[in-house]
Amino acid sequence: MKTTKFLHAGSALGLALLCSCHNNQETQQTASNTLRMDTILVADSDVVAGSIKTTAVGMQDYSNTFTTAGMVKTIPTAYAEIASPFSGRVVKSYLSLGKQCTPQTPLFELSSPDFFAAQKTYFQEKSQLEQAKRTLQRQKDLMEHGVGAAKDLEEAQTAYDVEKREYENAVMGIRVFKANPETITLGQPLTVYAPINGEILENKVVLGQFIKDDGAAVAKIAALGKVWIAGQVKEKDLQKVRNAAECSVTIPSLPDTKLTCKIFHIGPVVDDETRSIEVLMEADNSKRLLSPGMYVTVEFFEKPAPAVVIPSKAVFLTNESNYVFVATGKNRFVKRKIKIMSVNADTTVIQSGLTKDESIVTDGGLYLQDIR
C-alpha cells in the first residue's frame, strides 16, 4: 500500500515538472516574437531576425497596357472592285492573280456595242467638222477676193461652230470609255484599265463571256502595303485608347512577332449589342504578314508614367487580398494590403498601398506569416 502511494506521488511530480517545462517554452516564444495589434515585433536574439531582408520601395516608368481582338481590313481608298462600265463580250484578258497594277495597266478588253456606237459617232463628227472647216475657209477666200457673199460666210461660220460643238461632245463620249480619241480606230475593242495601284486579289473574267454593265464585280484589286486593323474596344477601356501612345499587333501564327501600328480613327458610335466601339489602326504590311480577314491581337500602350514597382516575391496573397510586410522600425513590421496594377515575372506594379522610399520585406516574409 505504501508502494502504491509512492508511485502515485512520483507520477504527479513528473507531470508537474513536464507542464512547467512546456509553459517555460511558450513564455520564451512569446517573449521572442510578439504580435501587438497590427505590428509584429521580432526579438534581436531570434533566428528569424537574421533571415529577414528589406528593401526600399522605388519608382520606375511604367506603361499600362491592355489587349483586344482585331481583324485585318483593306484600306477603302486602296481597294477597288472591277466591274465593266458597259456591256460587252470579253475578247482578251490580261488578268492574273498577284499581278501588280497601276492606273495604266490594262485588265481586259471588251467588244462593246456601246463603245462601237461612240466610235462611229466620233468619226462621223470628225469628218463633218473637217468638211465644215473647208467650207468656212473657202468662203473666207472668196470674201478676200471680192467674189463672196457675207451671208454665205456667216452661214459657213455658224455651221462650223455647230459641228465643232458636236465633235467635242463626241470626243467626250470616247473619253468616257477611257480611250484616247487621237489613237482610236473604228471597231477597236474597249480596254478596261486598273483604277488604282495594287495587286490583283480576285479574277472572275473568262475569255468569251458576256459581261453586263450592271453585273457584279469580275475582279478585285488592292494595295496591301498598308492595312487597317479594326479592333473592338469596350466602353470602359475607351479612355485608355485615347491615352495610348502606341499599339502593336500579334499574329496567332507568329506569336513572337509584333508589328507596330498607329491609331487612325476612333468610332463615334457604340454598338448596341456588344457595347464596343470600333477603333481603326493603320499597320505597315510591307512584309505581307497581314492578310485581309485575318484575326489578330492588338495591344495598346499608354504613355509611360512613374509608378511604384516592387519585387514580386515581396507580395503575399490571403483571402483574395494581396499584402506586403512594411518595416516601421528595427525588427518592427506591419502587414499592409495593396492593390496591384500588373504583375510581371520578377516585378509587380502597385496601384495603391505603398509610397516611394517605404521599406518592405523581400526575404523572410514567410516567417512573419507564422507569428501569431
Domain of 50, CATH number, reads 2.40.420.20
DSSP 47-71: HHHHH-EEEE-EEEEE--EEEEEEE
In degrees to the nearest 10, what's the CA dihedral of 324, 327, 331, 337?
-30
Q: What is the pLDDT of residue 221?
A: 96
Does the residue 287 lie in any domain? yes
216-234 tens-digit pLDDT? 999 999 999 999 999 999 8
Q: pTM, whole model, 2 decimals? A: 0.63
Do 107 and 207 meet the contact criterion of CB atoms below 8 Å apart? no
Q: Are strands 198-203 and 219-222 parallel, antiparallel or unpaired?
A: antiparallel
Does one domain contain both 277 and 312?
Answer: no
CATH code for position 148: 1.10.287
Helix, strand, or coil (residue 9): helix
How do 210-211 and 190-193 pair as beta strands?
unpaired
- The range of the structural domain enclosing residue 274 comes to 67-76+222-305
193 within some domain: no
Instruction: Give every residue of the chain whose pLDDT is below 70, as ranges.
Output: 1-33, 35-37, 372
pLDDT at residue 252, as a whole number: 86
Q: Is 236 helix (H, G, I), strand (E, B) or coil?
A: helix
Inter-residue contact 280 to 268 (CB < 8 Å)? no
Over the stretch 42-62, which tens digit does the pLDDT of each residue have? 887 777 778 889 999 989 888
CA–CA dist 159, 134 (Å, integer): 11
